[in-house]
Amino acid sequence: MILEEKDRMKKLVYGMCLALLLSSHAIAEEVSPYQAEVLSKTSTSWNGKALPDYPEGTPEVTILRVTIPPGAELPLHEHPVINAGVMLKGQLTVVTEDGKALHLKAGDAIVEVVNTWHYGRNEGDEPAEIIVFYAGVQGSPITVKK
């Protein structure tokens, strides 16, 4: 009798453990092992202007890692194509020719102005590092200096 009771308890505990294991496995499958965070999703650049249509031609994607030393200022320039970036470290101030400014710090995303004269300057005390993605066309520039 006592042996039967022990067997019944073992089976009950085994069944509960199996149910718990199966339910935790199902939960683990529902929870993704990776995360995706939207840094930016927009149809306008940082100054509020609508992004232009993509240019005609064979697409060419360019990805740049740009490092700007402390105190440095980029020359006045414009981009004839849509581009966006993410600051990896440091800080950067982007200024349009008409005086609008955007201050970026590490982790910030930017959807850059298109066909608008602007420059960037590093007002911090460490190099500013940004990764920028350009959606261009083969044979066309991604940046034009004034």
Q: Where are the domains of the chain?
A: 1-36, 59-145
What is the rounded average pLDDT for all residues in the chain? 86
Cβ(75)–Cβ(145) below 8 Å: yes
Pick the closest to residue 92 from 105, 109, 82 (CA basis): 105
Helix then strand count (H, E) for the chain reads 1, 9
Q: Which fold has domain 59-145?
A: Jelly Rolls (2.60.120)
Cβ(122)–Cβ(106) below 8 Å: no
Model confidence pTM above 0.85 = no
**Which backbone phi and psi does 84 adopt, to 5 degrees?**
-150, 155
pLDDT above 70 as % of the chain: 79
Q: Provide mean pLDDT across the span 82-110.
A: 97
Chain segment 46-83, per-residue pLDDT in tens: 999 999 999 999 999 999 999 999 999 999 999 999 99
Chain segment 74-92, per-residue pLDDT in tens: 999 999 999 999 999 999 9
pLDDT classification of 24: cutoffs 50, 70, 90 = very low
Cβ(80)–Cβ(115) below 8 Å: yes
